[in-house]
Structure 1
Amino acid sequence: MKVYTLHHPHQFNKDDFPPLSIALGFFDGVHKGHQKVIQTAKEYADTHGVKSAVMTFDPHPSVVLSSKKKSVEYLSSVDQKISKIDQMGIDYVLIVRFTSAFASLEPQEFVDQYLIGLNAVHITAGFDYTYGKFGRGKMETLPFHARGIFTSTIVEKQVDHDEKISSTRIRELLAHGDVEIASHLLGSFYETEGLVIHGEKRGRKIGFPTANIETLNGLLIPSTGVYAVRMKIQNTWYDGICNVGYKPTFNDPDQAALSVEVHLFNYSESIYGEKVNVQWLKRIRSEKKFNGIDELIAQIEKDKDEAIHILSDQR
């Protein structure tokens, strides 16, 4: 798969690409709804003997378009998004840098420069996809803006239990700790990237050493609580439990910073500075304050036993 980053105004022309069947969308998380759009574009490419492509954007449009300083909690980093798209057998990924200048393009200008100008012969997007300044371009207006040069397919709303599958819904689920349902909608376990940093080292003192994780790339962390997880270190996955929270047994929650700490069951190496991935399998319980170290240790033992059972079932 070939990956291109486009900065507006881009310098590519039609001759730089073969005829393309392009899926359009932000595709945060590349969930099952996104997968339907991408797969539809690929099916057209395979049927008509052209190449498949996905056009996505970075950063999230709301970061640029909002009048207030806004940060977005993502479901996937750009690299994670590229990896999931690659697994679907797509030929090209086109990452458009979303800037104020790009956002100012009229719908026809966007189509001329970023679809016709990149040799699109077919476009696939979800029913609610918009393009151009103020989102004035809709899937219903795309045939007009296509100037007869490409055709298009609208993918209807994808639902699960009568609810739309959306990145917003998945974020809400993660915000409540519902990592199992979120993973079901994603089509794979929710996964975050992080860096192992120095923490307070209290876990080591009570017999449960933890890796303190600084989450990278603005990825959303599930709500506070204890989770059964897997963590990838140098391409190998290890089982463990993760505590997300403010450690109320030791700290004043009003003054403490949120921490993400992973205790691995069969790992004892020093990994400070390592980049790791955490897969979130199931929430075991909410965070709570204990009446001393002995009570905390007893609960961690219970959490560990439950996590081992959950991870064993997943195999």
Structure 2
Amino acid sequence: MEVIKLTFPLNIDKAVLPPLSMALGYFDGVHRGHQKVILEAKEQAVQKGLHSAVMTFDPHPSVVLGKNQKHVQYITPLPAKIKIIEDLGIDYLFVVHFTTEFANLLPQEFIDQYVIDLNVKHVVAGFDFSYGRMGKGTMESLPFHSREKFTFSVVEKFTSGDEKVSSTRIRKYIRDGKTVQLPELLGRFYQTEGIVVHGDKRGRTIGFPTANVDTIDEYIVPPLGVYAVKIKIGESWYEGVCNVGYKPTFNKEALKVSVEVHIFDFKEDIYGQQVTVEWHQYLRKEQKFTGIDELVSQIERDKQNAIEYFNKRLC
């Protein structure tokens, strides 16, 4: 997949691009509803003899247009989004740098410059996609703005449990710790990435060494508590149990939330490595213990509960 970063004014000549079938959207999470839009664009490309493409935007429009929100946490920060879209077999990904100038384009200007001028011959978007200044362009106005230069498909609402699958719904599930329910919406378990850093190394002194994962701050981290997780190190996946919290038994003054994974049957040195944590089952809330013995007993129970969870998944 070729990733092309676009700016305003447009910085690419359509003469260098093949005819495209393009999916339009922000696509945070690239959830099952998004995948339906993207795969429709891919299918139309096959049917019409075009190349497949996706257009997304960075940063999130609320960072640029919102008065109070200067930092947004994502389900899939841009590098993760690129990986998932590439895995869907798309030929081109256009990442538009979202600015106030770009946001002020009239709907017709957006279509002329960022669709027609990119040699797009077919457009696919969800029923609620909007474009142009103040979102005045809609899928109902698209036939007019197309100037008959391209055809288009509208993908209807995708639901799960009689409710629309949306990035907003998924963010709420993550923040509520409903991690085990996310595959129904995402089509996969929720994942975050980070670097393994040195911690206080107390875990190894009580028989439960942990990988202290400094999670990239663009990700939404599930709430405080203990989770059954998988962790990807290099190209291999391992099972483990993860504590999200402030380590109250040891540290009364910790300010930053820590993500610490005790990896089952693993003894390698992975400091400095980038890892992926895959969030499965919420096990219990974070709690403070009266002493080390009580803490060790609870961690052992957490470990057994996580092992039981993963064993059930294999059945």
Shorter chain as denominator, the TM-score bin is: over 0.9
Structure 2, unpaired ranges of 5+: none
Q: 1:288 is matched by which residue type in structure 2?
A: Q
Query: Within 5 A, what are the aligned runs for 1:292-303?
Result: 292-303=291-302
Checking the alignment, whether the CA contact within 8 Å between 1:77 and 1:217 is kept in structure 2 is: no
Query: Within 5 A, what are the aligned runs for 1:95-174?
Result: 95-174=95-174
Shift of 1:270: 2.0
Distance 1:112 1:91 in 2: 22
Structure 1, unpaired ranges of 5+: none
Shift of 1:192: 0.4
For 2:313, the equivalent position in structure 1 comes to 314
Q: 2:195 is matched by which residue type in structure 1?
A: L
Distance 2:211 2:304 in 1: 19
Q: 2:27 is matched by which residue type in structure 1?
A: F
Q: CA RMSD in A?
A: 1.4
Checking the alignment, whether the CA contact within 8 Å between 1:231 and 1:238 is kept in structure 2 is: yes
2:18 aligned counterpart, secondary structure:
coil
For 2:179, the equivalent position in structure 1 comes to 179
For 1:87, the equivalent position in structure 2 comes to 87
Checking the alignment, whether the CA contact within 8 Å between 1:193 and 1:217 is kept in structure 2 is: no
* More off after superposition, 162-171 vs 215-224: 215-224
For 2:285, the equivalent position in structure 1 comes to 286
Q: 1:167 is matched by which residue type in structure 2?
A: S
Shift of 1:217: 5.3
Distance 2:127 2:303 in 1: 45
Shift of 1:300: 0.4
Distance 1:61 1:49 in 2: 33
CA shift digits 1:53-109 (9 cap, x unpaired): 110111111111101243211011222212211222211111111112211211111
Shift of 1:13: 2.4
Distance 1:261 1:96 in 2: 35
Distance 2:256 2:4 in 1: 38
For 1:206, the equivalent position in structure 2 comes to 206
2:93 aligned counterpart, secondary structure:
strand
Checking the alignment, whether the CA contact within 8 Å between 2:62 and 2:69 is kept in structure 1 is: no
1:244 aligned counterpart, secondary structure:
strand
Distance 1:222 1:262 in 2: 14
For 1:35, the equivalent position in structure 2 comes to 35
Checking the alignment, whether the CA contact within 8 Å between 1:199 and 1:212 is kept in structure 2 is: yes
Checking the alignment, whether the CA contact within 8 Å between 2:22 and 2:41 is kept in structure 1 is: yes
2:182 aligned counterpart, secondary structure:
helix
For 1:264, the equivalent position in structure 2 comes to 263
1:36 aligned counterpart, secondary structure:
helix
Q: 2:3 is matched by which residue type in structure 1?
A: V
Distance 1:126 1:217 in 2: 29
Q: 1:237 is matched by which residue type in structure 2?
A: W
| Aligned structure 1 segments of 4 or more residues deviating by more than 3 angstroms | none
* More off after superposition, 77-86 vs 300-309: 77-86
1:199 aligned counterpart, secondary structure:
coil
Query: Within 5 A, what are the aligned runs for 1:184-203?
Result: 184-203=184-203
Residue 59 of structure 2 is aligned to residue 59 of structure 1? yes
Residue 16 of structure 2 is aligned to residue 3 of structure 1? no
Percent of aligned pairs with the same amino acid: 55
Distance 1:312 1:134 in 2: 50
CA shift digits 1:259-307 (9 cap, x unpaired): 1101111211222211111111111111112121111100100110111
Q: 1:313 is matched by which residue type in structure 2?
A: K
For 1:24, the equivalent position in structure 2 comes to 24
Q: 1:288/1:217 Cα in 2 relative to 1: closer, same or farther (>3 Å)?
A: closer
Checking the alignment, whether the CA contact within 8 Å between 1:14 and 1:118 is kept in structure 2 is: yes
Distance 2:10 2:235 in 1: 36
Distance 1:72 1:182 in 2: 20
